Amino acid sequence: MTSVDFPKHKKAKALKPGSRRPAKELCSECGLCDTYYVHYVKEACAFINQQFETLELQSHGATRNLDNPDEVYFGVHQEMMAARKQQPIEGAQWTGIVSSIAIEMLNRGMVEGVVCVQNTKEDRFGPMPVIARTPEEVLAARVNKPTLSPNLSVLEQIEQSGMKRLLVIGVGCQIQALRAVEKQLGLEKLYVLGTPCVDNVTRAGLQKFLDTTSKSPDTVVYYEFMQDFRVHFKHEDGSTELVPFFGLNTKELKDVFAPSCMSCFDYVNSLADLVVGYMGAPFGWQWILVRNDTGKEMLDLVKDQIDTQPVMSQGDRKAAVQQSIPAYDKGVTLPMWAAKLMGVVIEKIGPKGLEYARFSIDSHFTRNYLYVKRQHPEKLEAHVPEFAKRIVGQYKLPE
Ligand code: FAD
Ligand code: SF4
């Protein structure tokens, strides 16, 4: 490479750890600014320049069809299904479909490395992004690190290593920035495997959540906000603790979520090739969205390791969402007996499958819309995408 075509970004300098980021308090610590790709931050950052349409077109060859209700909610996709591994991976967040796909891609030589996040030696939830080159290193990254994680901080290593084929696993804000700099990475092929993401927290915020919600915060190895309207905590001794959503201490927890996550409208990871979550699937199953041909190629690798079934949808979320808006706004916490009762009733008659996913999207988008409107009114128009405005527009919001 001559000095003439030497990429300009290599002259940029990563920002110092702990220094204020260009997105200020909205920064989700995606890791981009920890590299010389900070050069592109004004265009690439999900919280400075929301650009779903441009990046959807670049990634999938199409933008969301706003006349198709499923695309308004779940983004561009060719196929949706529920799936679970026939032999779940021990210690994975769900059944380990994400880790299994990454392992297959390495084993078959489709990629030379996988960007994923392991944990630090001292802290099981402390995020440590790596480029995994072996199945063992991918397995060591299984299970959610339920904190903001600077996954893109390893991007400089990709160029330095000379890698040409790469898989990146990540959540929406990381993937938005990645897509914006994709062409600068010097790769022949990039695969993107995403998970949905919502209500993330800093490491300190996570501690506050565990301390306020679990009876034994220090022994929690895993948790998930499940489709049965309960938080499931798994402890070191293998026991499971269940806490109903409606019994959460909303007042205490109101400020626990990161400002980035309070202003995010990319719950479903719109720009990944393939998305693996759980919320659109029946309890115990994972939920898969194939967004494009690359995503299909990735899913096909594990077809013989998974059972699948069509997605289903049951119930009507609208009244429950409308009621949750002022309750959250005022920080109402129900007494535990009432929360448990409400949880049981809602589980029996409440939304299931895709309707549960819509329930969760509606509740979070209405909350986040109010947050942006109040905290960053100058950003409201450009930051909230059209699909989210349509979703929020179905509800009556307080001023
Ligand atoms: P595993 O095989 O256990 O692999 C998990 C992968 O996640 C690993 O490769 C790891 O690199 C990656 N990872 C872990 N932590 C992070 C992180 N902080 N940032 C980026 N990547 C990470 N799904 C829903 O349907 N609804 C939700 O509301 C929802 N919220 C989520 C919130 C967070 C913070 C995260 C990280 C995920 C969330 N998911 C959600 C996805 C879901 O919990 C599972 O991660 C997904 O179904 C994959 O399960 P698995 O067993 O296949 O993953
Ligand atoms: Fe930089 Fe990422 Fe923070 Fe935006 S979210 S300021 S790109 S580290």
Give the pLDDT score at 255: 83
CB under 8 Å, gap of 24 or more: what pairs does 17-22 form?
22/48
Q: What is the DSSP letter of 14?
A: P
As a whole number of angstroms, the distance between CA 268 and CA 338 comes to 31
Q: Determine whether 64 is exposed, middle or buried from the number of CB atoms within 10 Å of its CB (0-12, 13-18, 19+).
A: buried
Residues 6+ apart with CB under 8 A from 104: 110, 301, 302
- Of 131, 195, 203, the residue with max ligand 1 atoms within 8 A of its CB, to mutate for a pocket test, comes to 195
Picking from 113, 184, 123, the residue whose alpha carbon sits closest to that of residue 151 is: 113
Residue to mutate (ligand 2; options 9, 19, 45, 153; most atoms within 8 A of CB): 45
Q: How confident is the model at residue 333 (pLDDT cuts 50, 70, 90)?
A: low
What the block records as the tokens of 361 is 């999207």
Atom of ligand 1 nearest to the CA of 171: 20
C-alpha 3 to ligand 1 mean position (Å): 41
Find the range with the poorest average confidence among 42-56, 165-179, 317-331, 355-369: 317-331
Q: Is 201 left (phi over 0), alpha (psi -120 to 50) or beta?
A: beta
DSSP label at residue 393: T
User: Is 251's pLDDT higher than 80?
Assistant: no
CB 195 within 8 A of CB 276: yes
Tens of pLDDT, residues 345-362: 677 778 899 999 999 999
Q: pLDDT tens for residues 111-165?
A: 999 999 999 999 999 999 999 999 999 999 999 999 999 999 999 999 889 999 9
| Ligand 1 atom index nearest CA of 127 | 18
Determine if ligand 1 sits within 6 Å of the CB of residue 116.
Answer: yes
- The whole-number pLDDT of residue 339 equals 63
Q: How many helices (H) and strands (E) does the chain have?
A: 16, 13
* Candidate from 20, 32, 266 with most ligand 2 atoms within 8 A of CB, to mutate: 32
Domain spans of the chain, in order of start: 8-200+261-312
Name the DSSP class of 30. Answer: -
Is 174 in contact with 148 (CB distance < 8 Å)? no
Q: Give the max Cα distance, the chain.
A: 70
Separation of 156 CA from ligand 2 center, angstroms?
15
Q: What is the rounded distance in angstroms from the CA atom of residue 27 to the CA atom of residue 47?
A: 7
Ligand in nearest proximity to the CA of 363:
1
Please tell me if the CB atom of residue 117 comes closer than 6 angstroms to any atom of ligand 2.
no
Query: The tokens of 16 are what?
Result: 């110092």
Which protein residue's CA is at the shortest distance from atom 44 of ligand 1?
A: 277
What's CA 300's distance to the chain center, in Å? 22
Instruction: Give the tokens for residue 28.
Output: 């989700």
For residue 44, which atom of ligand 2 is closest to its CA? 7
Under a CB-based contact definition with an 8 Å cutoff, are residues 140 and 164 in contact? no
Tell me whether 0.95 is exceeded by the ipTM.
yes
Q: Whose CA is nearest to atom 35 of ligand 1?
A: 197
Q: At what angle do helices 354-375 and 318-330 cross, to 10 degrees?
A: 40
Return the pLDDT at 335.
67
pLDDT of 5-43, one tens digit each? 567 888 899 999 989 999 999 999 999 999 999 999 999
